[in-house]
Amino acid sequence: MIIAVDGPAASGKGTIARALARHYGLPHLDTGLLYRAVAATVLRDELDPAQEADAVAATSFDDLLLADEWLRTDEVGKAASVSAHPLVRSALLQRQKRFAMQPNGAILDGRDIGTVIAPDADAKLFVKATPMIRARRRHAELQKCGSTVSLDRVLSDIRARDDRDSTREQAPLVAAPDAAVLDTSFLSVESAIQKAIALVEAQL
Ligand code: C5P
């Protein structure tokens, strides 16, 4: 069984995908981490993705996947706009497809799982929430880590990232036509998870 979970930053897709993985006992891949690892090599090796996209796509980043906490910072998140480069996307394509093809299935979350990586997934969710609510969630997380960044700043960053992810030519962020849309704006984490399970069950 393959379950595809897509959606914008701080929509709740990661939390939902992890909960579904526990519920169904399936392996889970947060595909954003792959793009973040590539972005981290760009920062570490001071590459210019516009000039050296082939070098970026060819870098090995498995060691960086272990630096999970750094990968999740905003600095790396912004640099993850390298994901717009076709060479970077094609370098990560097979790896994600292989993960989805495991014997018992898998759950992947990202931006293009239901549209590109696993268009034949058994169940697809598109998780969304209003930009302001996503900004508040991200802001609270950042404050917990001691950051003093303003809510306005987080909101404009979220809007900019949505814009970049939705308008790129290759694999833009868009709900697959057969995805069930789950708006988590006014849901607690627990009810979002319960709704997600119900929406998956309805597709099986
Ligand atoms: O989900 P997360 O915020 O970790 O993703 C970081 C960035 O990686 C996104 O803003 C997006 O540009 C890119 N990404 C992507 N396709 C995916 C997952 C992430 O382009 N399947």
| pTM reported for the whole predicted model | 0.95
- Tally Cβ neighbours within 10 Å of residue 86: 13
Of 58, 60, 17, whose CA–CA distance to 37 is shortest? 60
Domain spans of the chain? 2-186
Of 162, 137, 116, whose CA–CA distance to 7 is shortest? 162
With beta carbons less than 8 A apart as the criterion, state whether 142 and 154 touch.
Answer: yes
* Per-residue pLDDT tens digits for 184-204: 999 999 999 999 999 999 999
Residue 53 has pLDDT above 90, yes or no: no
Check if 110 has its Cβ closer than 6 Å to any atom of ligand 1: yes
Ligand 1 atom with least separation from CA of 117: 21
Amino acid at 9: A
Q: Which residue has the higher pLDDT, 157 or 57?
A: 157
Tokens of 108: 């992947």
Choose one of 95, 111, 126, 157 to mutate for the ligand 1 pocket test, by most ligand atoms within 8 angstroms of C-beta: 111
Question: Atom 5 (ligand 1): residue with closest C-alpha?
Answer: 32
* Per-residue pLDDT tens digits for 95-111: 999 999 999 999 999 99
The hierarchical CATH code for the domain 2-186 is 3.40.50.300
* Per-residue pLDDT tens digits for 3-38: 999 999 999 999 999 999 999 999 999 999 999 999
> Any idea which residue has 């006014």 for tokens?
186
* 3-state secondary structure at position 110: strand
| C-alpha to C-alpha distances, 128 to 7, 38, 96, 175, nearest whole angstrom | 6, 25, 22, 10
Residue 180 has pLDDT above 90, yes or no: yes
- Helix then strand count (H, E) for the chain reads 10, 5
